[in-house]
Structure 1
């Protein structure tokens, strides 16, 4: 009996240590900085024909379109230009939310085309004490609008039942409220627009037919093409559709939209910001591989691992580089540079080695030469700053203590950054 118990305990211990996402034994993940080999990044300011890019006109007319094409073809897939009709319905309004400090609205966005319909629920928190136009922070949540605050009036999304069983803990209200510091945001004078990312593209294998991608006329014909967009492209598209609606609200400042994304949504935020200039601030929180982190460092999560995650997040063409990282004509400093001259902020967490904090910083640093073309200020040094020493230049950055998450300190830094850029 004792031997059986002992073996069971050993089995549990082994399973725990071998099945975790960041297990370096099972997946041979590198967490040793000394094992990061030398690499050469693609030249941000040399065109495909060898032309040196030395002013913003050449960047905008030559190099930027080349890089945007690379990311459309090889990384995230091509964003369709077809118009998808949408209608808006205000479902609820509470002008006394957060102890009277905010007006909370729930809006149903209904996308319909080609005989298919996708409903998405947008949750708005608008400060009541602001008499001028309201600057907005846009961002997806992971577990439903109901997860961002413990409020029984928050409606559940249609698509959430596709990704969570009825008895799953994620149905609990306020389950991720610690990620959404509404009190701090509202008191600082900012509004929030959030939506469950499953509403736009369910993040579960086999449910692409329930995503907005299924509404487009070429959905079936393009499925197997290497540059077809997948989840990250869909989420980026959806971020822009949120702004479409916000632009219809008179109280909102149409020149002050910040896009915030955490983890996989940090990847989508950078791609959305690269395509949509209405986001005057783009914030990537712990976005890691395929987001802000340099792939060539081969530290933490690798390109091969992230591309094998199901459902697919990236265009199939990216698979060709799984074992040929050094042959990629791009790396993530180029993605960040596409946002120039608009403000961009990259944030890391000390314990989030999976996302390669140093690689996130270096990508932002190596995007700085493009910002210099606009006489904007990038990151000052190749040396990563210490914990809790935020940099609020036109490219901003901080690394904080803790794990892969969004917390009140992150929001404090983001709001400071927005204050500096907008006020």
Structure 2
């Protein structure tokens, strides 16, 4: 059972991180002036069939200014860690060092009385000059890597399976992350990967010999690794562009909408299924298996954690298991956050079928190229306004939303 905390009545604020005994917290997710309210207990959560309002603070007030997003984002990050992913440790910057040799960067972390190391290979472009922008591939990049290299973008392979295993439901607590923080740490495999990506970025900042510009980084991954790429981008503000590719449930698809799709006879992945398949989410997430409508957030709000930075979903309508309808509805709900912030061109969604899973078709390269050019390379003239699907599904606001986009000052 999830920990029970002080009632939100009369809001008692806690610094994010005091919610667990080990001092876990996500430094990048919480601005210094944004204390996070105590998390509610599972038993206190009430059912809500609609996608929760991303603009509604936990104290019942609603965002009025664009600058309020920093603190609302911090709340959402707290909810996501408490109920979905587990907590990302705030590892001191000084704990990480890096070394570079033979097109590989080795990341060394010394924390909690333990030392671990992992190595990431780097493929360099033959055009442009160092330091290069780089796309971090969760496990690997399944984008059109040859085209990225031609654009002058390096590819970094991040060994997520070494950080936290994801073989099956018996993988929980296995991997380098758990060697350092203990097999009973709250962090799921996905959150452990996000932590590892942050340590890689620490090392890149300290290792100029690697020839990578840490101020121009993207992250991607496909399928299960796409779920991880989204979390890495959501919880690390140094990532400029997040590109989840066909991540499905726990990525682009909302749990509530997917449950409705399942009830309508679609063969889609749901929360009740996924919690028994693998260890991508914290163990307590299984409490929501048959009551996803009790979640105080959903995937549209996880996606919104990337705002005001750039996010591009690349989806596939030929993969029913990914719940294409749920992904489209979720993306449109998430996009409203960027709309409210006055930057709708920083979040895109492209959903095209007729190709294999994790095989990026040429028809989606224009969107990817535009986002990479604008947000990683720095060509602001590229058009990144893209919200498209080749399906006939639409967002039924009346069915899924009981909130609208606020006019923020």
TM-score computed with the length of structure 1 as normaliser? 0.69
**Equivalence for 2:355:** 402
Give the SS at the match of 2:217: strand
Shift of 1:65: 2.0
Alpha-carbon separation, structure 1, partners of 2:325 and 2:179: 38
1:366 pairs, out of 330, 333, 354, with: 333
SS of the aligned residue for 1:279 comes to: coil
Structure 2 equivalent of residue 232 of structure 1: 190
The gaps in structure 2 that reach 5 residues or longer are 1-47, 262-267, 380-409
State the partner residue of 2:148.
185
Aligned length: 315
1:233-312, aligned counterparts within 5 Å?
233-247=191-205, 248-249=207-208, 251-297=211-257, 298=259, 299=261, 300-310=268-278, 312=279
Q: What is aligned with 1:326?
A: 293
Partner secondary structure for residue 88 of structure 1: strand
1:348 aligns with 2:346: no
CA apart distance, 1:132: 6.2
Question: Would the aligned equivalents of 1:127 and 1:186 in 2 still touch at CA under 8 Å?
Answer: yes
Matched, 1:195 2:155: no
Greater displacement, 366-375 / 345-354: 366-375
The separation in 2 between residues aligned to 1:189 and 1:206, in whole angstroms, is: 37
Deviation at 1:290, TM superposition (A): 1.2
Distance between the aligned counterparts of 2:154 and 2:365, measured in 1? 13
Mapping for residues 113-192 of structure 1, pairs under 5 Å: 113=111, 116-131=114-129, 133-141=131-139, 179=142, 181-192=144-155
Q: CA deviation at 1:48?
A: 1.9
Q: Secondary structure at the match of 2:196?
A: helix
> Displacement of 1:195 after TM fit?
2.3
How far apart are 1:117 and its partner, in Å? 4.7
Taking the aligned partners of 1:197 and 1:232, their CA distance within structure 2 comes to 9
Confirm whether residue 65 of structure 1 aligns to residue 74 of structure 2.
yes
Could you state the TM-score of these two structures normalised by the residue count of structure 2? Answer: 0.71
Superposed CA deviations along residues 200-221 of structure 1, whole A, max 9, x for unmatched, are 11223347343222202xx25x
Distance 2:305 2:112 in 1: 33
The structure with the larger Rg is 1
CA contact (8 A) 1:139 1:261 kept: yes
Write out per-residue CA displacement over residues 246-273 of structure 1, whole angstroms, 9 at most, x where no aligned residue: 2232643332111112112221222221
Task: Work out the CA distance in 2 between the residues paired with 1:246 and 1:290.
Answer: 28
**Which region of structure 1 is more displaced relative to structure 2, 406-415 or 116-125?**
406-415
Give CA-to-partner distance per residue, 1:8-41, whole Å, 9 cap, x none: xxxxxxxxxxxxxxxxxxxxxxxxxxxxxx9421
* Contact 2:253–2:323 (CA under 8 A) maintained in structure 1: yes
Equivalent position SS for 1:49? coil
For the 8 Å contact 1:124–1:191, the answer to whether it is kept is yes
Cα distance in 2 for partners of 1:335, 1:325 equals 15
What is the CA–CA distance in structure 2 between the aligned matches of 1:115 and 1:255, rounded to whole Å? 30
Deviation at residue 366 of structure 1 after TM alignment:
0.7
- Please tell me the root mean square deviation across aligned C-alpha atoms, in Å: 2.4
Deviations 1:280-301 (A, max 9, x none): 1111111111112111112310
State the 1:55 CA deviation: 1.9
Q: Does residue 376 of structure 2 align to residue 413 of structure 1?
A: no
Residues 336 and 363 in structure 1, CA contact (< 8 A), matched pair in contact too: no
Counterparts in 2 of 1:309 and 1:396: CA distance versus 1, 3 Å: same
The 1:81/1:261 distance shift into structure 2, 3 A limit, reads same
Name the SS for the 1:308 alignment partner: helix
**Contact preservation (8 Å) 1:139, 1:239:** no
Change (3 A) 1:252 1:210: closer
Q: Distance in 2 between matches of 1:417 and 1:372?
A: 17
Is 1:90 aligned to 2:100, yes or no?
yes
| Contact 1:136/1:256 (<8 A) preserved | yes
Give the corresponding residue for 2:28.
Answer: none
The 1-side partners of 2:113 and 2:129 are apart by 43
Deviation at 1:412, TM superposition (A): 5.4
* Residues 85-112 of structure 1: CA deviation (Å, up to 9, x unaligned): 44434342xxxxxxxxxxxx12333445
Change (3 A) 1:339 1:404: same
